[in-house]
Structure 1
Amino acid sequence: MGRKALVLVLALLLGNGLLAAPAAAGQGLWLGTWSAAMQQPTSGFAPNWSEKGFADHTVRQVVRTSVGGAVTRVRLSNHFGTKPLRIAGATVARTAEGAAVRPESLRPLTFRLSRKVEIPVGGQLVSDPVPLPVAPLERLTVTLYLAEATGPATTHLFATTTSYRASGDHLADAGAAAFTEKATSWFYLAGVEVAGPPLRRDAVVTFGDSITDGAASTIDGFNSYPDELAERLGNTRAVLNTGIGGNRVLNDSPCLGERAGKRFQRDVLDQPRVRTVIVLEGINDIGMSEFPGQPCVLPNPRVTAAELIAGHHELVKRAHARGIRVIGATMLPFKGAGYFTERGEAVRDEVNTWIRTSGVYDAVVDFDRVMADPANPDALHPAYDSGDRLHPSDAGYRAMAAAVDLTTL
C-alpha cells in the first residue's frame, strides 16, 4: 500500500478534516497532547510578527508533548484572520537543537492528501494523520511555509518558547542556518493530537491567565505549572495549557485575549476527550482596573467579588453540562505587584473564600496558601517569586504543580 493510500485509510479510521463543528468532549480516538489558546494579532507587550503577518516566510515552531501516541496530527487555526490563510507546505519533526530538526524524523504534513491548503477566515483545520510516533514529554517542531502574504496572523502571544523565521521556502531544511529571526510567540499553531495504542487516557485542561501560561518562567525551559504537572503525571494523563497572559474573566482585551466565558467553548469544551479543567482566573480583572487609559486593558471597570463569582459559576455550569470535572484554583497573593491595591486585595480574598467553601467546584487547589509568604500572607513567598511580586519563578511553578492532588483529576 502506498503512502497516500495508507494516510487515507488512517484518515477514514481516525477522522479528520475541516472543523466547522468540533466533536463533543470525550468523543473520538484523538487526544490532545499539546495546545495553545489562540489570540487576535497584536503587538501587545512583546514584539512579534502577528500584526504584519508573513509573506514568503518559513516559520518553525517548537512544542513539547505531554503524552505519547502512535500517530500524530497538527491543528492549525485562522480564527482571527482577515483573509483565507493559504499554507504552501508544512512539516513536523522531532526537535534537535534550536531551529534544527532530526532529519530522519522529518515528515510532510498533508491536508486531505494535499500538501497545500486554504483555511477560511475563522476556521480551523487538522492535518491528515502522520506516521510519527510521539513519546511523552518530547519536543516536536512544526514548520509552515507561507508563500503568499497572510495579513495579520492568529497568534499566541506569550509562548515562553522560541519560534524561528526564514525568508523563502525552507520546509525541508534539517539545519537551522536559514532561520535567523526569532520570536517568543506561536502563530496559527493551536494543537498537536495523538492517537493509537496504548492511548487510553483523557485530558486535563489548565485554563487561566499569564500564571497558567507560564509568564516569567525560563524561555525554552518548559517550566510552566502545566508543564510541571505533565511531568508529575508521566504518561498517564494529557495536560493542555490554554492560559493567555493578561486574560480576564469578564472583559475582552484587544491584546490579551477574549474573556474567559467567550473563549471557554473553543479552549476547553471543544478539546478532544477532556475529563478535567483547572480554572485559575480573576487576578487581572481585579488589578487591571488600576491602569486608566492603557489601550491593551480597556475596558477595565472595577469589578466586584459578586461579579467574578458569577463569572466562575457560569464556567462551572457549562463544564458540568458536558460532563467535565472542574477544579477551582485560588488566586495567588499579589501584594507588591504593580497593580496591587487594598481594594483589590479585599476582592481577591472574598473570591478565594468562595472558591474554597462554596462547594460549586468539584475540588479545589489552594494556590493562594501554597504560594504565600508565611510572614506576609498577602504576598508571594520570596522563594517562589520571579521578581515582579505577581508571577512565580520556575521554583514557584513547580510548587504549584506539586500542590495539585492527582486524585482529584
Structure 2
Amino acid sequence: MSFAKSFFVLATTAAIMLPAVPSQALAGTGGPRWTGGWSTAVQRPSPGGLPGSSNWSEAGFERQSVRQVVRVTGAGAAIRIKISNLYGTAPLTVSGATVAKAATGAAVRAATLRPVTFALRLDAVVQAGQELVSDPIALPVAALDRLAVTLYFPGATGPATFHDISSATSFRASGDHRFDPRATAFTEKSQSWYFLSGVDVLGRTSRGAVVTFGDSVTDGTGSTLDADNRYPDQLAERLVAAGKPLTVLNSGISGNRVLNDHPLFGERALARFQQDVLDKPGVRTVIVMEGINDITYPDPVVTAGQIIAGHRELIRLAHTRGIRAVGGTIMPFKGNPWLYPDGTAEPFALEQIRDQVNTWIRTSGEYDAVADFERALLSPADPDRLRPEFNDRDGQEGDWLHPNDAGLNAMAEAIDLNTL
C-alpha cells in the first residue's frame, strides 16, 4: 500500500469513528461539540493594502503546495478545516490537503502528519462563492498548539480568496509536498493566508468562542511576525492561564470600516458580520472595535451618529443570535503621519468624532460590556496620543496608530475575562 493510500485509510477510519456533531451543538449536552479554534476573515484578491506590499492572491496557484501555520486556541480530540472560495469566480479544485503539528519555519513534526478528507475523498471541489468543511481529522490538539495546513492545487486556481495581512509566514513549493515534513522545498514566502479560513476543534470542555471583530489593530498589523502577539492571541493566552475554556477567533481586517466597502480592505462590517461572527461555530461573545477608518477616510465623510447607528445594528444582530456584545473604544491616533502630515496640525473634527463614539460606547449601556482600549493605550500627558512605550519599535518610532506588542498586550489586559 502506498504512503498516501495508507494515510487515506487512516483518515477514513477516523472520520467514521468520530461522532457527527452539528456545528451549533448546544452547550450542556454532555457530548463533544465543534467550536471554532482558529479563523480569519477572508477578502477579495487584491495587490494588498500596505504600501509596497505584494502577495499571491491575484495570480493564484498551479501545481503548487501552500503550507500555512496557524495557532488553535482550544483543545480537542479532533479538528476539521475550512476552505473558502467565497471570492472565486470558478470552482476551486484541491487535489489534497494535510495537517500536522508545526515545527520550525515550514517544517512539521512528521509523526503528526494527517491527510485531510472531504466526504471521505482526498480531493475536493469548492464551488465559487462557497466554503467547504473537511471531515473530522484524528489529531488531538491542546490550546495554543501551532498547526501547519498544506494544500495542493494541481491546476490553475485563478485569483485566490485570501486574508491580506496575516502577521504570519506562509510557504509555497512547486509540486505536491503535502506529506513532506521538511522545509527544504518551501522556498517561497508570503505574509498572507490563502483559501484557509478556519480550524474547528471537537471537544467536551469548551464553553464557546469569543470573536474579536474589527480593523487593523484587531488584525494585528504591526505586531511581530510569527510571534502570535496580536491582541486576540494575547487574550487567548490570558484565558488559558486563567483556566477559562473559551477559544478566541480573529475576524479583523486591516483598513475595514463599519459603513463602507473597500476593494483592498474588505466588505463593510455590517455586510460581513454574518459570515465573520454569526456563522462561526460555538460563538458566545463578540468584541467589536470598529470605526477608526470610517473617521479617518476622507471619502465618504461620515458622522459620529452614523457610526453609532452602525454599532447599534451590530449589537442587534448579535443579540438576535443570543451572542453577548462587548464594545471596544477606539484608540488615539494623534501623530500619525497620514493624518498629521506636517507633524503639528491637529484634525479636531476627527478627534471630536472619535470622542463622541467612545463616549457612547462607554455610557449608553447598549453594549453588554465595555473594553476600554483607549484608556489602556493613551498617554496621560496627551490623551489623544498613544503612550510612547506602546509606539516604539526596537528604538524606532512607530506610526502612532498601530500599537506594538506591548500595546497589544495592554489591550488584552484591558478586557475583563468575566464579561466574556
Compute the TM-score of the two structures, normalised by the length of structure 2.
0.90
Match of 1:305 in 2: 304
Match of 1:249 in 2: 258
Match of 2:343 in 1: none
Task: Give the aligned residue type for 1:245.
Answer: S
Contact 1:25–1:322 under 8 Å retained in 2: no
Match of 2:202 in 1: 195
Following superposition, the deviation at residue 23 of structure 1 comes to 5.1
Q: Does 1:63 align with 2:77?
A: no
- Alpha-carbon distance in structure 2 between the residues aligned to 1:171 and 1:282: 41
Task: Give the aligned residue type for 1:40.
Answer: R
Deviations 1:213-240 (A, max 9, x none): 0110000010000000000000621000
- Alpha-carbon distance in structure 2 between the residues aligned to 1:332 and 1:280: 9
- Alpha-carbon distance in structure 1 between the residues aligned to 2:238 and 2:19: 35
- Percentage of pairs with the same residue: 55
Contact 2:390–2:407 under 8 Å retained in 1: yes
Residue 14 of structure 1 aligns to a residue in which SS?
Answer: coil
Residue 240 of structure 1 aligns to a residue in which SS?
Answer: strand
Following superposition, the deviation at residue 8 of structure 1 comes to 4.1
Contact 2:12–2:117 under 8 Å retained in 1: no
Query: In structure 2, do the counterparts of structure 1 residues 158 and 166 end up closer, same or farther at CA, with 3 Å as the change threshold?
Result: same
Match of 2:33 in 1: 29
Deviations 1:133-164 (A, max 9, x none): 01111100000001110000000000000000
Match of 1:389 in 2: 400
Task: Give the aligned residue type for 1:222.
Answer: D
Query: In structure 2, do the counterparts of structure 1 residues 8 and 173 end up closer, same or farther at CA, with 3 Å as the change threshold?
Result: closer
Contact 1:24–1:269 under 8 Å retained in 2: no
From 54, 73, 90, give the equivalent of 1:83: 90
- Structure 2 counterparts to residues 129-208 of structure 1, below 5 A: 129-197=136-204, 199-208=205-214
Task: Give the aligned residue type for 1:191.
Answer: G
Task: Give the aligned residue type for 1:72.
Answer: I
Residue 260 of structure 2 aligns to a residue in which SS?
Answer: coil
Residue 211 of structure 1 aligns to a residue in which SS?
Answer: helix
Query: In structure 2, do the counterparts of structure 1 residues 260 and 38 end up closer, same or farther at CA, with 3 Å as the change threshold?
Result: same
- Alpha-carbon distance in structure 1 between the residues aligned to 2:208 and 2:13: 27
Work out the number of aligned pairs and report it: 391
- Alpha-carbon distance in structure 1 between the residues aligned to 2:267 and 2:11: 39
Residue 353 of structure 2 aligns to a residue in which SS?
Answer: helix
Q: Does 1:350 align with 2:361?
A: no
- Alpha-carbon distance in structure 2 between the residues aligned to 1:308 and 1:136: 36
Residue 221 of structure 1 aligns to a residue in which SS?
Answer: coil
Match of 1:407 in 2: 418
Task: Give the aligned residue type for 2:178.
Answer: L
- Structure 2 counterparts to residues 239-388 of structure 1, below 5 A: 239-289=248-298, 300-337=299-336, 338-339=338-339, 341-386=347-392, 387-388=398-399
Match of 2:6 in 1: none
Query: In structure 2, do the counterparts of structure 1 residues 25 and 217 end up closer, same or farther at CA, with 3 Å as the change threshold?
Result: farther
Match of 2:221 in 1: 215
User: How well do the aligned residues superpose, as a CA RMSD in angstroms?
Assistant: 1.6
